Amino acid sequence: MFKKLILLGFSLLCAINLHSQKFVPNIPIETFKGTYTTMSKELSDDSYYILSFWATWCVPCINELDALNEVYDELSKDLNFKVYAISTDDARTKRRVRPLVNGKSWKFDVLLDENHDLKRALNISGLPHTIIAKQNEILHRRVGYAPGEELDLLEKLKDYEVE
């Protein structure tokens, strides 16, 4: 039974990657301050971007963002990257976003995808869903989180910087 679940999970992950976008679409998105921006504007410079799609009810999502926050200062000295935590909380749960973010004091920007426009455009079905992008091009995707995977993600960034 366990092997069947692993095979099903692997198949699903492959299917998601096969049908996924190659670029981050230019979709309007709300900032944590209540204004609107576009993804093209946010991803316009020569930095690498970690886009972490999360929700307040998703414990692995919060764990991943906390782990990224812990290593952010140290790694931002060596790597040219920015993190956007993109909340996918909808109308029912969005009231929990602000208190959670304010309590966490994350060092990166939070964007709000309440209507799931960006999530839908990127064919995201599972959370946490993490993307590495540069100038709107998607370089890497990962679904799920286990402790230590933030370091794997940052190793990928180092590899991209070397190329």
pLDDT tens by residue, 76-100: 888 999 999 999 999 999 999 999 9
Which domains can be identified in the chain, with CATH numbers? 2-162 (3.40.30.10)
pLDDT for 34-84, tens place per residue? Answer: 999 999 999 999 999 999 999 999 999 999 999 999 999 988 888 999 999
Pairwise CA distance, residues 53 & 60, whole Å: 11
Distances (CA, A) of 87 to 2, 4, 100, 120, 157: 32, 32, 11, 13, 22
3-state secondary structure (DSSP) of residue 122: coil
Confidence of residue 3 (pLDDT cuts 50, 70, 90): low
Quote the DSSP letter at residue 101.
Answer: H
Are 150 and 68 a contacting pair, CB within 8 Å?
yes
The greatest distance separating any two alpha carbons of the chain, rounded to the nearest whole angstrom, comes to 48
pLDDT of residue 7: 45
pTM of the shown model: 0.86
Are 148 and 141 a contacting pair, CB within 8 Å?
no
pLDDT top residue among 99 and 11: 99
